[in-house]
Structure 1
């Protein structure tokens, strides 16, 4: 049985996804709250709006889109198909947990494609799913973050396959992957970060393989797929940018949000993958009181055992960073990951000795940059985790080699690392992966209003 599962790693990811779903699903509720988009209530209307998103006639007297609503097209299509077989209350749960699971699985496939061993590739996938940075993106999920979670490893993997083999089949897979993860462009500032990190990765693969024609074609397809929403948006930035800055909600909240990010903007907080969500307090209507959104996670990680396990992970990440740069076969990938690690790390560490002056100057010189990246955590953490996870995998590889050379049983080392991953993830199995505060039972009156307008 163990051999059967080991030969079919998808079973491991599927099992973790199902267990986490079952322990976080509340029957009869919708997964709603925060910046939710919910096309499942009227998918055909939302599909029409996604196709005609450049001009939004349902906003006031009509307006040119200042965001990127066209990027939700594939998400709305997926939602519509699911509403044909599932109740609308279940649709967003299924999409959210499926994307989370697929993100881990494709990180495993990417690590395996980089010629890492199967056990270490599985650990990479599990870590990508269960680390605290990912949990902060899913505890109050928004589609752009959940699609971005799967887009990073999926597009890196399908891009790698095409650059290496340059077959029509791999080109089709990459094109389809780009379309299905279109919603990662719903917040264009996040899409910019995603594109830079993926671009660096593809360049590194091309250098390693000495195949540059595939890289150009890859970038052309990626750009073309996203151009339907990207061209109207970026052409309209000079006009809509000041409007977004002057929006009343942004005038009230932008400085506060940046300050909350700074509270978790030290280099140590970034290496621990702890952002402003870690300190967020929200009102829970069920309990009728304010709650710390991530209290269960804080308790686990602030224990002596939790702090020790986190320190072990950080050491392994830096071990992998040096290993990837030192060894010739992994050097191009190591350099690309290091650049991405530093770029996103500086944005995240906005209260560190390096990040604070760089970002303070950028905010003064480029006011629109200050508005666009007022919450650097949500824009950069997944791309940072992408590099972090692969460095962890390289670190595990080197430690495994050293243990073998010392005559020690490296298999137990892999088992210990898996145990660390699961121990740090235990609060999820008590219903804390997605917050109970966003598992909402809709009042009948709410549904009656929607039916009336339909």
Structure 2
């Protein structure tokens, strides 16, 4: 009994932390539910599968068409192992709850020990009885301050691991640097290893590393170089613990960063997210720990309406009393900052620097300091992309250093009062604790976690997972419907987020969540979306074949964010029913599963005499070459057999990404495409009718071009705003939640234009063209002038389906005088559909002014199908493919990044006209080796197949059989020893 009492006396603050955590858990736990939604991970749905994926994480085979990891899934290894251990005793539904609150508690305990250590090492040593009390307050502040609340409200595991690990990293680091004990170095290494899951988003690790670097630099300066050896050892330990994910990620960043930043999701979101952060980057908001998470609005499935996600917190945090408390706590932190500098307390000073660093990073709208933020964002590559969510990257570091400085100020204040009047010494700690409790009251009212994330996942998702466990693992699954291009899905049963189904399904899944990491995955969306909303059954069937789709999953739980008609579910059913190779297999609740044909092997196939078709494209919604010829290759290492001058008329990305050029005059629209100079024929034809053909010869200098001229006539001009009053009509708001100032006026009566102005508001101008037939292709020409703020945002909606199929910005050119044209192509849609709506949004997110002028909006009919179908073709290209005499004896695929293929021949065959095709997206990291008679040869001829498949090469050997090995560079797969084929 005495030992128990002794234990309580020593560690009563820890028991209190556990007690408070228990209360918090009981207030926020909903029985019989999962904690699911937003960004989340569910490796517990199949722990063995997901552990294997982390071991071979460099190539993400299961994500759509496969791609090189753009994050760092390998870093999840420790997280998944921990969940595996917990799963031995905890039910699956409880696992994520336990993990979330476990990280919260571990972070608090770590902060308690860190503050105890800081006070003992501080030059301003407080009394022993003050140390545990101040340390307890620091832990509670770190756990319950408003910054922490916002991060836990929509929990994402990697951030929570950062929260839990920060105090322990600095505790073990400071101990090793101070006492230089081997035990402390080992503990630091262990903590760094356990903290690696924070690097799932490597920028989170980067923030932690920057903070550690500042601490080490301070230690080096204070010690006048004496600690250099220890610092080098610390850096070495940190590198070794993180190299297993860091080296592959570095390679991936160099190779693929431009692809990720150029995705549609990131193009649209990056500027918007930065400005939302900027709106909360002022001094007061930063001091009060506010972020734009307070502005999140999503569909509340219980109330059947859109509402603020953090609504329980908004009224609370905006109350004058709470605001006063928040500013008072910041004042205490500021006092702690200046005391640490004034007293030259070398133990606390590095945390003061970390506080200043995180404060300025979050406060990117603070006068003077905001200029540095702007310079870094503008001139340092990719900073604007990787740190667009400033608060998610820096909030825990801010809360961490904030807690230390507040506690330091309280310790100094309490020590000073003790010297004056000891009886009053409890007042500062008591007042600070009461202030903290006032700010966090909603946490203990069930609002520490978002209520709508606590839901019961419908049983049908687990039934689907069980079904696919019985199927071959290589069958790619297409998820329909495709309501929008965002990697964010709203479900009817309450969840909104990045998705979760792939954690329990072995097969590759084509889902919008994977699009930002691969242009090939994104193109799947554009092509299938066009085929579906065009109601083109033939093209839909071709796309299923092109992308090696083996299964189609129709999930009717998926909602459209604005109009369920845009889901097009009945039309999708019609497309499936008209395809005899697609058969319904199972139905579970609102989910239906369809199989596609009878396929033998979906990952490795062979094709003979495939044509070389150019050019390659980056973005497209209509692969006419596949429609015309089926499988093809694209490589500029050989002469093209066929060339499409207007391979892509896609304009869904930025204007400078168009893969054709266009000019508008008063008389005509002129489309220009560039073509290779090595096509050679007998005659030259200057003008070719769209319905005709001709032979011609190209010169090498200058670079030859191919143009299509569309005369502007009454027949081709489908709409002209100059002939209507549309630009003069009343404006509306595309975002009713923004209550700022708007202005729209008609300028210059003779040569008029509409000026749109917004300050913290959305000024929208809608133009409806209800009688425009959808069977034709069109080009929309918006003539505008960008004066200030954000560019004009254009969206085009199909009035028949209510789907907004194009969203983009006008040309990125700011001018006070010149108007410029922006061009947006509308491909043919439903043959019997009519009506489009063009919306122009002049948006200001923060207090900056946005001004854009609109001179005119015109719509012209263009010969879309004839243009994309134009091709230059060698006369000797054959239309028939010969059957290959080569057969695949076996395909061994032990991990995502390695294939062993045994190839045998049936009689005599000509190998140079046969290609082996790997059904993974194109990536230069793939390598192929032929091994025959103990001779290994690398095959370095690789190209695109159907503009997305990763690799093909002509066979170079002529023996009776061979083994072929594919592996992905920098993968975790081991290149196994192979023997001579028999």
In the superposition, the TM-score normalised over structure 1's length comes to 0.94
Look up the match of 2:461.
446
Match of 2:40 among 31, 36, 42: 36
Report if aligned partners of 1:133, 1:385 keep a CA contact under 8 Å in 2: yes
User: Please, which of 174, 186, 190 is the counterpart of residue 204 of structure 2?
Assistant: 190
In structure 2, what is the Cα distance between the partners aligned to 1:6 and 1:303? 39
CA shift in 2, pair 1:121/1:382, >3 Å: same
Aligned pairs for 1:6-405 within 5 A: 7-8=10-11, 9-115=13-119, 117-205=131-219, 211-328=227-344, 330-331=345-346, 333-334=348-349, 336-405=350-419
Listed as ranges, the gaps of 5+ residues in structure 1 are none
1:412 is aligned to 427
Q: For residues 292-313 of structure 1, what are the alpha-carbon distances to aligned partners after superposition, in whole Å with 9 as ceiling and x for unaligned?
A: 2222222222223212211221
Aligned to 1:436: 451
Q: Judge conservation of contact 2:280–2:292 (CA < 8 Å) in 1.
A: yes
Distance 1:32-1:396 versus aligned 2 partners, 3 A rule: same
> What's the offset of the Cα at 1:286?
2.6
Extract unaligned runs of 5+ from structure 2. 121-130, 470-982
| Alpha-carbon distance, 1:2 to partner | 10
- Between the aligned partners of 1:65 and 1:428, the Cα distance in structure 2 is 36
**Distance in 2 separating the partners of 1:264 and 1:450:** 42
Greater shift after overlay, 89-98 or 238-247? 238-247
Note closer, same or farther for the CA distance 1:312–1:451 as it changes in structure 2 (3 Å cut): same
| Structure with larger Rg | 2
- Residue 6 of structure 1: CA displacement? 5.4
TM-score by length of 2: 0.45
Q: What is the SS of the residue equivalent to 1:331?
A: coil
CA contact (8 A) 1:53 1:65 kept: yes
Larger mean CA deviation between 210-219 and 137-146 belongs to 210-219
Distance in 2, Cα, partners of 1:359 & 1:215: 29
Residue 323 of structure 1 deviates from its aligned partner by: 0.9
- Partner-residue secondary structure (3-state), 1:136: helix
Kept in 2, the 8 Å contact 1:205–1:332? The answer is no
Structure of greater relative contact order (alpha carbons < 8 Å, 6+ residues apart)? 1
Structure 1 counterpart SS, 2:299? strand
Instruction: Confirm or deny: 8 A CA contact 2:414 2:425 kept in the other structure.
Output: yes
- The farther-off stretch of 137-146 and 414-423 is 414-423
Give the Å deviation of 1:291. Answer: 2.5
Which deviations, in whole Å up to 9, do the C-alpha atoms of 1:75-114 show, x marking residues without a partner?
0101111122211111011011000111111111101001
- In the TM superposition, residue 168 of structure 1 has moved relative to its aligned partner by 3.1
Question: Cα 1:188–1:442, aligned 2, differ >3 Å: closer, same or farther?
Answer: same
Deviates more, 1:443-452 or 1:67-76: 443-452
Residues matched between the structures, number: 452
The 1:292/1:212 distance shift into structure 2, 3 A limit, reads same
Instruction: Pick closer, same or farther for the CA change 1:367–1:161 going to 2, 3 Å.
Output: closer
Q: Which has the higher strand share?
A: 2
User: Does the 8 Å contact 1:99/1:149 carry over to 2?
Assistant: yes
Provide the rounded CA distance (Å) in 2 between the counterparts of 1:104 and 1:295. 26
User: What's the CA shift for 1:219?
Assistant: 1.7
1:321 is displaced (CA, Å) by 0.6
Cα RMSD between the aligned structures?
Answer: 2.0
Residues 35 and 355 (structure 1 numbering): CA distance in 2 closer, same or farther, change over 3 Å?
farther
Task: Please say if residues 204 and 332 of structure 1, whose CA atoms lie closer than 8 Å, have aligned partners that are also in contact.
Answer: no
Structure with greater proportional helix content: 1
User: Counterpart of 2:426 in 1: which secondary structure?
Assistant: helix
Give the Cα–Cα distance (whole angstroms) in 1 for the partners of residues 285 and 237 of structure 2: 37
Question: For 1:200 and 1:286, how far apart are their aligned partners in 2?
Answer: 47
Q: In structure 2, what is the Cα distance between the partners aligned to 1:94 and 1:183?
A: 17
- Tell me by how many angstroms 1:206 deviates: 6.1
Output the CA distance in 2 between the equivalents of 1:312 and 1:453: 57
Work out the CA distance in 2 between the residues paired with 1:127 and 1:2.
Answer: 27
Distance 2:111 2:390 in 1: 23
Q: How much does 1:183 deviate?
A: 0.9
Distance 2:179 2:301 in 1: 54
Q: Does the Cα contact within 8 Å between 1:130 and 1:425 map onto a contact in 2?
A: yes
State the alpha-carbon separation in 1 of the partners of residues 412 and 347 from structure 2. 17
- Distance apart, 1:63 and its partner CA: 2.2
Give CA-to-partner distance per residue, 1:330-376, whole Å, 9 cap, x none: 23631x22332232222211222134322333332234111111111
Q: Helix, strand or coil: the match of 2:44?
A: helix
Residues in 2 aligned to 1:174 and 1:248: alpha-carbon distance in whole angstroms: 41
| Distance in 1 separating the partners of 2:9 and 2:319 | 32
- Alpha-carbon distance in structure 1 between the residues aligned to 2:134 and 2:373: 36
Deviation at 1:68, TM superposition (A): 0.8
The list of structure 1 runs, each at least 4 consecutive aligned residues, that deviate by more than 6 angstroms after superposition, is 1-4
